[in-house]
Amino acid sequence: MRKRATLALADGTTFEGISFGAEGDATGEVVFNTSLTGYQEVLTDPSYVGQMICMTYPEQGNTGVNAADDESARVHATGYIVRHFAATPSSFRAEQSLDAFLIRHRVVGIAGIDTRRLTRHLRTHGSQMGIISTAGSAAALVERARALPGMEGQDLATRISTAQPYAWSEAGADAWSAAGRAEIAAPRLHVVAYDWGLKRAMLRLLAERGCRITVVPSRTTAAEALALRPDGVFLTNGPGDPAAVQGARETVGALLGKVPIFGICLGHQILSLALGARTYKLTFGHRGANQPVQELATGKVDITVQNHGFAVDPASLGGRARVTHLNLNDGTVEGIEVLDAPAFSVQYHPEASPGPHDARALFGRFVGLMERAS
């Protein structure tokens, strides 16, 4: 018999459901994700540090989980909110159930709530802090939620970054067989990747294109990065407020013009900050595998994967960069190109894990920049 559980939001709204996953309380910013598949990749995405995820698709856990699909070593979401979960998965790849996976990673979940109502509420009133608990009155839980610190001003990227540099050469972004995890032969380019909460699929796609990658901590200086003699620098995704990441904008500013640069998500925002731009918090963010993005130069539309709560103010970019991509849902900036240095970035996730592969050519574009510069 599962316990009753309550989800309480800081604005006083509450939802009643049942507990699954680990027992106890969970707190964090409550956000929603519109992906139809890929819940394991979502849960293990480090960009979800400090957040509780509501999945808009009602069925979760049908295919179970397996080690090959992890985007990092652990679950980073603090809580998981679903309409229904499959207690017994149905897939030949499944190694355990979603429920067991959450228990193993000590992540609290709530099921059986009206996730459509919650999503509409967050769209109208914005993402906000919340708590999941099996104990205490709804009123007491609301007061606890109201006391939680928000996401603005939090340097979560530095907190979860690797402590030491390490090498990466594993390919196979989509393969789950042993062959897909094989070491690639004779990489021709060296990429330094700043770890602000990276996803493994990004590194695998670079490795597939002939790159040897050195992953470095968030606080690695520009001089230290250049001392590694990279052909290019990769700015990864990550959680939290981009303006709060200590030293990041100064470091990227010092790298501009020295080597080609490619940024994704948080990396895109930090590159923009290095150019003197401003970032701001979106009302409810973009999270899901179905965001339409238009490339302005060609008119081509890609369906993209996204996971971010902040965006770049286009009016603040000045004359050093041009906007290259826009979100067709709300017109926010989805990509920029620096005019006086070989550098570009996108707000979305071209590695597409989970999601469509429309934008994966951007990794080839980065490789092309490095080859022309070398």
CB 317 within 8 A of CB 336: yes
Q: Is the distance from CB of 371 to CB of 189 less than 8 angstroms? A: yes
Q: What is the DSSP secondary structure assignment for residue 112, as one 8-state letter?
A: S
CA–CA gap between residue 255 and residue 161 (Å, rounded): 19
Cis, peptide link before residue 260, omega less than 30° from 0:
no
For residue 374, give both structure tokens: 């070398």
Q: Of 76, 265, 268, 286, which is the active-site residue?
A: 265
- 210 burial class (0-12, 13-18, 19+ CB within 10 angstroms)? middle
Told to judge if 349 belongs to the known catalytic residues of this protein, a careful annotator would answer: yes
In 58-175, where does DSSP find H-type helix? 98-104, 115-125, 138-146, 156-160
- Concatenating the DSSP letter of every residue in 303-355 gives EEEEEEEEEE-GGGSTTSEEEEEEETTT--EEEEEESSSSEEEESSBTT-SSS
Q: 271 near 261, Cβ under 8 Å?
A: yes
Q: Are 219 and 247 in contact (CB under 8 A)?
A: yes
Query: Is the distance from CB of 113 to CB of 83 less than 8 angstroms?
Result: yes
Strands 79-81 and 51-55: parallel
Active site residues: 265, 349, 351
